[in-house]
Structure 1
Amino acid sequence: MIKTAIQTVSQQQNLTFEEAAQVISEIMTGQAEEIQIAALLTALTAKGETADEIAGAAQAMRQAALEFPKQPAGLDIVGTGGDHSNSFNISSTAGLVIASLGYDVVKHGNRAASSKSGAADVLEALGFPINQEVDQAEQMLKDNHFTFLFAQKYHQAMKYVAPVRRGLGIRTIFNVLGPLANPAEPKQMVLGVYDGALLEPMAQVLHQLGVQSANILYGTDGLDEASISAPTKLVQLRGDNIQFQTITPEEFGLKRATKEEIVGGTAQENAAITRAILSGEERGAKRDIVVLNAAIGLNAVNPTITIKEGVKLAQEALDDGRVADLLATLTAAEAVE
Structure 2
Amino acid sequence: MKTILNKLYSHERLSKSEATQVLKDIAAEKYNDAHLASFMTVFMMRPITADELSGFRDALNELAIKVDLSDYNTIDIVGTGGDGKNTFNISTLTSFIVAGTGQKVAKHGNYSVSSQSGSSDMLESFGYNFTNEERVLRAHLEEANICFLHAPKFHPAMKAVSSTRKALALKTFFNMLGPLVNPSAPQNHMLGTFNLEVARLYNYILQAENVNYGIIHALDGYDEISLTGAFKFFTKHGEQIISPEDLGQKRIQQAAIFGGNSVADAAKIFKTIIDGNGSDAQNNVVLTNAAFALTIVDETKPFETAFEEVKASLFGLKAKQTLEKLVRI
| Number of residue equivalences | 327
Give the direction of change, closer, same or farther, for the CA distance of 1:163–1:298 in structure 2 (3 Å limit). Answer: same
Further displaced range: 304-313 or 108-117: 304-313
SS in 1 for 2:70: coil
Q: How does 1:118-197 map to 2 (within 5 A)?
A: 118-131=118-131, 133-165=133-165, 171-197=171-197
Q: Which TM-score applies when normalising by structure 1?
A: 0.87
Give the direction of change, closer, same or farther, for the CA distance of 1:159–1:327 in structure 2 (3 Å limit). Answer: closer
SS in 2 for 1:314: helix
- For residues 159 and 316 of structure 1, the distance between their equivalents in structure 2, rounded to whole angstroms, comes to 38
Q: Structure 2 residue aligned with 1:256, among 239, 244, 251? A: 251
Q: Structure 2 residue aligned with 1:282, among 272, 278, 285? A: 278
Alpha-carbon shift at residue 234 of structure 1 (Å) = 1.2
- For residues 123 and 54 of structure 2, the distance between their equivalents in structure 1, rounded to whole angstroms, comes to 28
Further displaced range: 46-55 or 65-74: 65-74
Give the direction of change, closer, same or farther, for the CA distance of 1:59–1:245 in structure 2 (3 Å limit). Answer: same
SS in 2 for 1:19: helix
Further displaced range: 171-180 or 111-120: 171-180
- Equivalent residue for 1:223? 222
SS in 1 for 2:232: strand
- For residues 168 and 272 of structure 2, the distance between their equivalents in structure 1, rounded to whole angstroms, comes to 39
SS in 1 for 2:58: helix
- Equivalent residue for 2:116? 116
- Amino acid in the other structure paired with 1:215: G
- For residues 38 and 324 of structure 1, the distance between their equivalents in structure 2, rounded to whole angstroms, comes to 40
Alpha-carbon shift at residue 37 of structure 1 (Å) = 4.0
Q: Which TM-score applies when normalising by structure 2?
A: 0.89
Is 1:310 matched up with 2:309?
A: no
Q: How does 1:51-62 map to 2 (within 5 A)?
A: 51-62=50-61
Gapped regions of structure 1 (runs ≥ 5): none
Q: How does 1:27-42 map to 2 (within 5 A)?
A: 27-32=26-31, 34=33, 36-42=35-41
Alpha-carbon shift at residue 170 of structure 1 (Å) = 5.6
8 Å Cα contact 1:221/1:227 also seen in 2: no
- For residues 281 and 30 of structure 1, the distance between their equivalents in structure 2, rounded to whole angstroms, comes to 46
Further displaced range: 3-12 or 319-328: 3-12
Is 1:328 matched up with 2:324?
A: yes
8 Å Cα contact 2:86/2:115 also seen in 1: yes
Give the direction of change, closer, same or farther, for the CA distance of 1:255–1:156 in structure 2 (3 Å limit). Answer: same
Alpha-carbon shift at residue 16 of structure 1 (Å) = 3.1
Give the direction of change, closer, same or farther, for the CA distance of 1:125–1:39 in structure 2 (3 Å limit). Answer: closer
SS in 2 for 1:108: strand
Q: Tell me the alpha carbon deviations over residues 259-299 of structure 1, each in whole angstroms, 9 at most, x when there is no partner.
A: 10111223333233233223322241001000011111112
- Equivalent residue for 2:75? 75
Give the direction of change, closer, same or farther, for the CA distance of 1:35–1:268 in structure 2 (3 Å limit). Answer: closer
- Equivalent residue for 1:292? 288
SS in 2 for 1:27: helix
Gapped regions of structure 2 (runs ≥ 5): none
SS in 1 for 2:82: coil
8 Å Cα contact 1:252/1:311 also seen in 2: no
- For residues 201 and 294 of structure 1, the distance between their equivalents in structure 2, rounded to whole angstroms, comes to 23
- Equivalent residue for 1:319? 315
